[in-house]
């Protein structure tokens, strides 16, 4: 085995591999791909396991998920304005829709190309894009450590929870909604957030960890680093499915929620596929599937009756859901940057 022989064979093999790598498209085969945004946690899982296979069966196209928070989606679409957007389908919470429409980031939803659109509840049929679900926040708690569900946000201040309370960073909708709700309860307004920050500062001695992002927040529950925190109904269900002890309690002041919707992005690379993808979310069969554990996604299709954890924790019928209080996003959105800044400066553990 002379060195020359070794090297030659090695170089030959490398060359062959190189030729294979140089023709990526040939190796993977032709098939269209749609890039769609989705939220971290429950929704990306639900999309991956339910929507993507259904979509592939219907259209033969694959989907690349861009797992990204609503506000970050808006930022990236703004940065890409005028060029090809990083994803074709946007997944927004109610506040982002306002900003997106104003900046011209999304197009009106082509209702005639979407057969399932008419099946939605009237309140869900929005011209900019169908509302596919609703998110509700409440107090998440570990039932094995805390007996009896907490009845009020003020329970977080209870000294017996010292070091056991969790908070999440304000870049997520959960964080902002929590802050806005506390602010409202404590007498503040959209112009004045001092009451909310006063509450947070009182809360600080109890705070055990601040989740840097939603994945990290979920880990805090999994590793039992926190026992009580503001949390989102769907995330609680997802963790329960992973055998993590956590339940959601709606405080006496009532639940707070907002709608979530899908949109076709302006200048999309695959606008036809985008509409078909969104349409896949709207059908009664799919929404019925997503309603089941572990996703427990609140449906907006009129033909789907509520069942399961939703009826026990939140509301019995769609009419009850419609009564859940929402926040004034028109006024809150412009404050967002300043609020995040203030949070970063003042709330440190």
Instruction: Summarize as ranges the residues that interact with another protein (CB under 8 A).
Output: 6-7, 10, 17-18, 21-22, 24, 27-28, 33, 35, 40-41, 44-45, 62, 64-67, 71-72, 75-76, 78-80, 83-84, 86-87, 169, 171, 209-216, 218-219, 222-225, 242-243, 269, 337, 344-345, 348
Q: Is the Cβ of residue 127 or residue 348 nearer to another protein in the bound state?
A: 348
Rounded to a whole number of angstroms, the minimum distance from the CB of residue 343 to another protein is: 10
In terms of Cα–Cα distance, which of 124, 234, 258 is closest to 181? 258
- Residue 294 CA to chain centroid, in angstroms? 15
For the CB of residue 222, give the shortest distance to another protein in the complex, in Å.
Answer: 6
**Closer CB to another protein, 218 or 314, in the complex:** 218
Strand partners, 256: 137, 325
Is 179 within 8 Å of 339 (Cβ atoms)? yes
Residue 12 or 215: the one with the smaller Cβ distance to another protein is 215
End-to-end Cα spacing for the chain: 64
CB of 120 to another protein, least distance (A): 28
Nearer to another protein, 65 or 133 (CB): 65
From the list 155, 158, 183, 160, the residue with the least C-alpha distance to 170 is 183
Which CB sits closer to another protein, 169 or 321?
Answer: 169
The least distance separating another protein from the CB of residue 48, rounded to whole angstroms, comes to 8
Q: Which among 240, 262, 12 is positioned nearest to 130, based on CA atoms? A: 262
The answer to whether the beta carbons of residues 280 and 52 sit under 8 Å apart is: no
| Torsion sign (Cα): 183, 211, 340, 161 | positive
Closer Cβ to another protein, 268 or 278, answer by number: 268
CB of 143 to another protein, least distance (A): 19
Q: In terms of CB distance, is 103 or 108 closer to another protein? A: 103
- For 229, the 3-state DSSP assignment is strand
How would you class 27 by CB atoms within 10 Å of its CB: exposed for 0-12, middle for 13-18, buried for 19 or more? exposed
The DSSP annotation for 103-129 comes to: HT-B----GGG-GGGGGB-GGG--TT-
Q: Which residues contact 307 (CB under 8 A, 6 or more apart)?
A: 291
Q: How far apart are CA 114 and CA 116, in angstroms?
A: 6
- Our CB check for another protein shows the closer of 162 and 325 to be 162
For another protein, the closer of residues 125 and 225 by Cβ is 225
- The nearest distance, CB 195 to another protein, in angstroms, is 23
Single out the residue of 288, 281, 330, 283 nearest to residue 89, CA to CA: 281
Q: Work out how close the CB of 99 gets to another protein at its nearest, in angstroms, rounded to a whole number.
A: 12
CB of 3: closest distance to another protein in angstroms? Answer: 8
- Residue 24: φ, ψ to 5°: -60, -40
What's the chain's length in residues? 349
Rg of the chain over CA atoms, in angstroms? 23
Smallest distance from the beta carbon of 242 to another protein, in angstroms? Answer: 5
């Amino acid at each position: 085995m002379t060195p020359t022989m070794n090297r030659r064979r090695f170089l030959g093999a490398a060359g062959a591999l190189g030729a294979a790598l140089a023709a990526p498209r040939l190796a993977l085969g032709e098939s269209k791909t749609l890039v769609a945004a989705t939220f971290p946690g429950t929704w990306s899982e639900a999309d991956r396991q339910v929507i993507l296979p259904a979509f592939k069966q219907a259209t033969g196209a694959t989907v690349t998920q861009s797992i990204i928070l609503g506000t970050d989606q808006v930022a990236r679409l703004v940065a890409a304005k005028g060029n090809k957007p990083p994803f074709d389908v946007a997944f927004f919470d109610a506040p982002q829709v306002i900003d997106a429409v104003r900046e011209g980031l999304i197009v009106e939803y082509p209702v005639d190309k979407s057969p399932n659109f008419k099946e939605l509840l009237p309140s869900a049929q929005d011209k900019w894009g169908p509302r596919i679900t609703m998110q509700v926040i409440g107090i998440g708690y570990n039932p094995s450590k805390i007996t009896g569900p907490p009845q009020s946000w003020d329970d977080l201040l209870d000294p017996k929870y010292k070091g056991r309370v969790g908070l999440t960073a304000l870049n997520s909708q959960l964080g902002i909604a929590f802050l806005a709700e506390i602010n409202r309860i404590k007498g503040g307004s959209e112009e004045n957030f001092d009451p909310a920050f006063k509450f947070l500062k009182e809360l600080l001695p109890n705070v055990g960890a601040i989740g840097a992002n939603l994945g990290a927040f979920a880990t805090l529950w999994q590793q039992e680093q926190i026992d009580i925190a503001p949390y989102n109904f769907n995330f609680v269900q997802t963790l329960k499915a992973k055998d993590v002890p956590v339940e959601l309690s709606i405080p006496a002041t009532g639940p707070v929620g907002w709608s979530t919707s899908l949109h076709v992005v302006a200048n999309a690379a695959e606008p036809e596929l985008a509409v078909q993808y969104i349409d896949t979310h709207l059908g009664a069969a799919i929404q019925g599937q997503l309603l089941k554990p572990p996703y427990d996604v609140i449906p907006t299709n009129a033909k789907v009756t509520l069942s399961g954890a939703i009826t026990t924790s939140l509301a019995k019928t769609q009419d009850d859901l419609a009564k859940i209080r929402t926040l004034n996003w028109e006024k809150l959105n412009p404050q967002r940057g300043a609020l995040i800044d203030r949070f970063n400066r003042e709330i440190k553990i």
